[in-house]
Structure 1
Amino acid sequence: MIKFDITLFIQIAEALIMTFVLYYILVKPVMSYIRERESHFQTLEKETQELIALAEEAIKKYHEELNKARSEGIQKRELLKEEARKIEKEILSKVMKEMDGIQS
């Protein structure tokens, strides 16, 4: 049978005191640090998602501008080709007239 003398109550008191001391010295600061760390990582994750969204938007805009520039380049090339064909026809026409003049 358990004897209920003063040492039992002292040991219970010591255990309770140690529990509270360890809680405030060890557990509470560690839990606080863990919460701060989680909060920091959540902030970093949010910032990362925002930066990814900005990067994706910049890439999309870049591709749109690139496609626009290619389209404009193709149009200018076609205009230059058409202009070159007109000049070619004019030159050929002049040469043919000169040859007709020489032959007659």
Structure 2
Amino acid sequence: MIDLDITFFIQLVNFLIIWMVLSLVLYRPIRGIIKKRSDYMVGQVSSIEKFNAQAVAKVKDYEVALDAARKTGLDERNRLKVEAQAHETEIVGNAGRDAASKISAARAEIESQVKKAMQSLQSEVDKMAKKATDKILA
């Protein structure tokens, strides 16, 4: 059976004093440090979440800007392509007209040279025919 004598009460008082001293010297500072660390971690987690949200927003903004730049580039490319095709058509048309005028000028020159040659040959043919008839008749 338990005897409740004075030592029990002394041990109880001793336990309470040690418990209070340990609470003041050890447990409260440790709880304070743990609370500070917990608050710091909560702050860091919220800071990380905020940073991640900003990063996601910046990536979305970048993608939107990139899509806009791609669209602008594609529009510019198509516009330049149309301009180039029009310019090519104009150059080909001018070259065709120049070639046609040169061909017609060359044909006209060839025709005049053919006429001159025909006239020259005709006069020579007449001379040769006259010589041939003179030889045959003589």
What residue identity is the alignment partner of 1:70? R
CA-atom RMSD in angstroms = 1.2
Residue 50 of structure 1 aligns with which residue?
50
For 1:75 and 1:5, locate their aligned partners in 2 and report how far apart those are by CA, in whole Å. Answer: 100
Match of 1:91 in 2: 91
Partner of 2:80: 80
Which amino acid letter does the alignment assign opposite residue 14 of structure 2?
E
Shift of 1:23: 1.3
Gaps of 5+ in 2: 105-138
What displacement does 1:75 show?
0.6
**Partner SS state of residue 24, structure 2:** helix
Rg (Cα) greater in structure: 2
TM-score normalised according to structure 1 size: 0.92
Q: CA deviation at 1:7?
A: 2.5
Give the Cα–Cα distance (whole angstroms) in 1 for the partners of residues 3 and 63 of structure 2: 85
In structure 1, runs of 5+ residues without a counterpart are: none
Q: What is aligned with 1:18?
A: 18
SS of residue paired to 2:16: helix
What's the counterpart of residue 5 of structure 1? 5
Correspondence list, 1:33-44, <5 A? 33-44=33-44
* Distance of 1:81 and 1:93 partners within structure 2: 18
Residues in 2 aligned to 1:99 and 1:3: alpha-carbon distance in whole angstroms: 133
Aligned residue-pair number:
104
Aligned to 2:31: 31
Larger displacement relative to structure 2 (1-10 or 58-67) = 1-10
Quote the Cα distance in structure 2 between the aligned partners of 1:70 and 1:103: 48
Deviation of 1:37 (Å): 0.7
Query: TM-score, normalization: structure 2?
Result: 0.71
